[in-house]
Structure 1
Amino acid sequence: MNYEQQILHILSEVGERGISVSSLAKHVYNMSCTLFSQPDLQEVHQFVQQYLLRNSKSAQSLIESTGRRGYYRLNTQNNADARQLMLEFAEEMPEAEEPENEKPSQDFSLSLFDF
């Protein structure tokens, strides 16, 4: 996953409340760290900041400011692509399915202490 996809994925998870640029940069950095490579946190922060500024300029942009300084969210009100992203990422997350009428399974294990 590249940085742009990670940014959009995180923004779709935080929803309407938005997330600060520094928190978003830390999340992207943590998602990008592996055992063999670690990106520079400053470079990731700079990329995230530039990406958010580039994609939040107009009212129909994919990303919008929340009104609080430095907080951003997906623009689901004026952008159909942002609404579609919310649906796509929501479908990827598996929900825990609980069987309704499943009986508890019997324990067929042997006891070590029965004679």
Structure 2
Amino acid sequence: MTYEEQILHILSQVGERGISVSMLAKNIYNMNCTLFSQPDMQEVYRMVQQYLLKNSKSSQSLIESTGRRGYYRLNTGNNAVARQLMLDFREEEMTEDEEEEEKSQQDLSLNLFDEFFS
């Protein structure tokens, strides 16, 4: 996933309450840290801040400010793309949950009488 996709995914998870720029930058930083490479935290913060500012300029933008200084959320009220993103990410999460339910519903018990009746 690119930084932009990661930002949109996190914003879809936080919902209406929004998230601060610093928390969003920390989440993006942690998503991209590996054993062999670590991005620069200041660079990630600047990129997240610029992306949010660029995509929250008008009332029709994909992202909007929550009213609190430095907090942003998806603009689901005025932007159809944001509403679709919320649905797409929710469907993706539901399929992962369904897979976990299937695994937990499988019968893993042993039949004690198979040896006697075969």
Fold conserved between structures, TM > 0.5: yes
Amino acid at match of 1:88: D
Which aligned runs of 4 or more in structure 1 are off by greater than 6 angstroms? none
Cα distance in 1 between the residues matched to 2:23 and 2:106: 45
Structure-1 residue corresponding to 2:78: 78
CA-based RMSD of the aligned residues comes to: 2.0
1:62 aligns with 2:62: yes
Cα distance in 1 between the residues matched to 2:106 and 2:77: 46
**Between the two proteins, what is the percent identity of the paired residues?**
72
Cα distance in 2 between the residues matched to 1:19 and 1:7: 11
Task: Measure how far apart 1:95 and its partner are.
Answer: 2.1
Amino acid at match of 2:73: R
Q: Structure 1 residues 103, 78: closer, same or farther in 2, change over 3 A?
A: closer
Cα distance in 1 between the residues matched to 2:45 and 2:60: 24
Cα distance in 2 between the residues matched to 1:92 and 1:60: 25
Cα distance in 2 between the residues matched to 1:16 and 1:75: 9
Amino acid at match of 2:80: A
TM-score by length of 1: 0.85
1:95 aligns with 2:97: yes
1:10 aligns with 2:7: no
Cα distance in 2 between the residues matched to 1:103 and 1:31: 32
Q: Structure 1 residues 103, 60: closer, same or farther in 2, change over 3 A?
A: closer
Structure-2 residue corresponding to 1:39: 39
Higher helix share: 2
Where in structure 2 are there 5+ consecutive unaligned residues? 113-118
